[in-house]
Amino acid sequence: MARVLKMGVPLLYLFMFLRKKKNKSGSISIQIISKERGKYKVVKTIGSSDNEQQIQKLVFLAKQEIERLNSQSKLFISENDAVIEQVFETLGNASIRTVGPEIIFGKIYDSIGFNKIKEDLFKHLVIARLAFPLSKLKTIEYLYRFQGVVLNIDTVYRFLDKLNNKLKGQVEQIAFAHTLKILDGKISIVFYDMTTLYFEASDEDDLRKAGFSKDGKHQNPQIFLGLLVGLGGYAIGYDIFEGNIYEGHTLIPFVEKITAKFNLDKPIIVADSGLLSKDNIIALDEKNYQYIIGARLKNESEKVKKEILADKLIDSGMMVIKKSPNTRLIITYASNRAAKDEHNRKRGLQRLEKQIKSGKLTKSSINNKGYNKYLKLDGQISIEIDYEKFKQDSSWDGLKGYITNTKLSDKEVIENYKNLWHIEKAFRMSKTDLRIRPIYHRLRRRIEAHICISFTAYCIYKELERILYKEKSTLSLRKAAESTHNMYEITYTLPKSKHTKSRLLKMNDEQAELYEIIRKIF
């Protein structure tokens, strides 16, 4: 391989490339490698890290160094080039920082109105939850490494201790005002649901209780999170409840509190069958609320069940049964739902058969909800599967029920109920993208603060989704969020004027698209 000798410059290899070397410790070293006569040589090691964001920065610095070394191999260097080289000589890791989360999520945070909260640390914690949803200790590392914000864990915990009582109401008011604006100033229908959030710590207290877990973490203490959203899944309010409470008992108190707080004019309440109870129906009727609630068809009276099964609905078929002068039960049938129901039943049966065959079916397994309803206890020691009950359940495959006291048409009732998927998506986004669980905090006030931060983060995430859809972007929500991780800003000092400047580094096509969308709107 040819080499060039230049005054004051050692022999340099013209052909160089970047290499990522995995170390025994698990970290990645970023090296510049040259090749001459079939042999490879390490020209320079830029650095090593086990953090993906830091690795990306090291890669960037390595590319810059390769360009610098190649430029030195030229016989003639202009005065301008020499000045540029001088500037780059002063750059270090601290000169480059990740600014994407602040540019994108920070702008949305301000536009929704959360900038009215005069707490810089709150904004930092919310954006950190959106960009790199980690533990509070890891969040401190992120803020220092990528935002230049110096904090210690005690400062964060002291802030969390005072956050919930101080900011929850203001956060909800801002979120509600934004949702009202998105929905053209009218909220006539709301969607309520609950989910469980589990804790890694095994001890219980007055809030964290073991109970039926929707996450399948039955041995972990948990809390219930109740969430109310408008059409489209835009946030209105939330609350947390003890982990062993029956979720049906939360509906009325929660709705009463939220409607009073925001002066809502008796919106139609939509909820799934987990919140269906005789007491809830009575209370909703007494308080003059209209509702659409998922029905539990198998819990209906024998007379109603016989009437449903006798009808033999075909695909997309519908029947209506009058429950009272103001209440009706709507039943629909869908063949694709029937196929899914059948698949789930068979899978549950196979799981039971496998457990019985292996002898691993324990008392705790029997007490759990689910497909154990097909078990039949014979005396005190023999367990077998009730295949007749399994066969009878097939009659209900594909059937779905809705109980309502509204004046809406049957079709409108079903269409509104289908919008519940937005709240299910809200929980899914919170649990996966924002990693609201598991929760490592033990004190109630810190748990409440963690939920408040996550609720705010969800509002911003949801708004980004709306903006991408409105602008007909090709980016998915997750891809857009991930693209913020590698948006960098470089800070440099001009050699003659000594002026310090900052400049965004060139973005890839996806980052540029997202940046232009946000810049145009805000």
Is the Cβ–Cβ distance between 462 and 434 less than 8 Å? Answer: no
17 falls in which pLDDT band (50, 70, 90)? confident
99: its two tokens: 């600014």
- What lies within 8 Å, CB to CB, of 458 at 6+ separation is 235, 426, 429, 430, 434
pLDDT digits 0-9 by tens, 228-272: 999 998 999 988 877 666 667 788 888 888 888 998 888 999 998
- Percent of the residues in the chain that have a pLDDT greater than 70, as a whole number: 78
- Number of CB atoms found within 10 A of residue 482's CB: 15
Is the Cβ–Cβ distance between 82 and 68 less than 8 Å? Answer: no
CA–CA separation, 150 and 94 (whole Å): 14
CA neighbor of 228 nearest in space, from 250, 244, 198:
250
Burial code of 430-454, b = ≥16 C-beta within 10 A, e = fewer? bbebbebbebebeeeebbbbbbbbb
* Alpha-helix runs per DSSP H in 375-443: 387-393, 410-418, 421-432
pTM: 0.72
Which residue has better confidence, 460 or 149? 460
Residue 66 has pLDDT above 50, yes or no: yes
- DSSP letters spanning 164-184: HHHHHHHHHHHHHHHHHHHTT
pLDDT digits 0-9 by tens, 288-341: 999 999 999 998 999 999 999 998 899 989 999 999 899 999 999 999 999 999
> Phi/psi class of residue 97: alpha, beta or left (left: φ > 0; alpha: ψ in -120 to 50)?
beta
208 falls in which pLDDT band (50, 70, 90)? very low
Residue 446 has pLDDT above 50, yes or no: yes
Q: What mean pLDDT value characterizes the chain? A: 81
Is the Cβ–Cβ distance between 104 and 464 less than 8 Å? Answer: yes
Q: Can you give the residue ranges of every domain in the chain?
A: 1-89, 106-272+420-470, 338-395
Q: Which pairing describes strands 488-493 and 96-98: parallel, antiparallel, or unpaired?
A: antiparallel
Is the Cβ–Cβ distance between 225 and 238 less than 8 Å? Answer: yes
Residue 75 has pLDDT above 50, yes or no: no
Three-class SS state of 495: coil
Q: What is the mean pLDDT of residues 96-115?
A: 93
CA–CA separation, 181 and 492 (whole Å): 42
| DSSP β-bridge partners for residue 45 | 31
Residue 69 has pLDDT above 70, yes or no: yes
Q: Which residue has the tokens 């809830």?
A: 280
Query: Phi, psi at residue 69, to the nearest 5°?
Result: -65, -40
> Phi/psi class of residue 241: alpha, beta or left (left: φ > 0; alpha: ψ in -120 to 50)?
beta
- Number of CB atoms found within 10 A of residue 290's CB: 19
The half-sphere exposure of 68 on its side-chain side, counting CA atoms within 13 A, is 20
Residue 70 has pLDDT above 80, yes or no: no
**Model pLDDT, residue 7:** 38
- Percent of the residues in the chain that have a pLDDT greater than 90, as a whole number: 34
453: its two tokens: 């931060």
Q: What is the mean pLDDT of residues 365-374?
A: 56
Residue 141 has pLDDT above 90, yes or no: no
Residue 214 has pLDDT above 90, yes or no: no
Element (H, E) at 35: strand 28-36
198: its two tokens: 């589990």
371 falls in which pLDDT band (50, 70, 90)? low
CA–CA separation, 481 and 468 (whole Å): 11
**Model pLDDT, residue 209:** 43
Which residue has better confidence, 137 or 10? 137
**Model pLDDT, residue 135:** 66
Give the torsion through C-alpha atoms of 257, 258, 260, 266, to 10 deg.
Answer: -120
How buried is residue 238: exposed, middle or buried, by Cβ count under 10 Å (0-12/13-18/19+)? buried
**Model pLDDT, residue 252:** 85
**Model pLDDT, residue 439:** 53
**Model pLDDT, residue 190:** 92
CA–CA separation, 208 and 200 (whole Å): 11
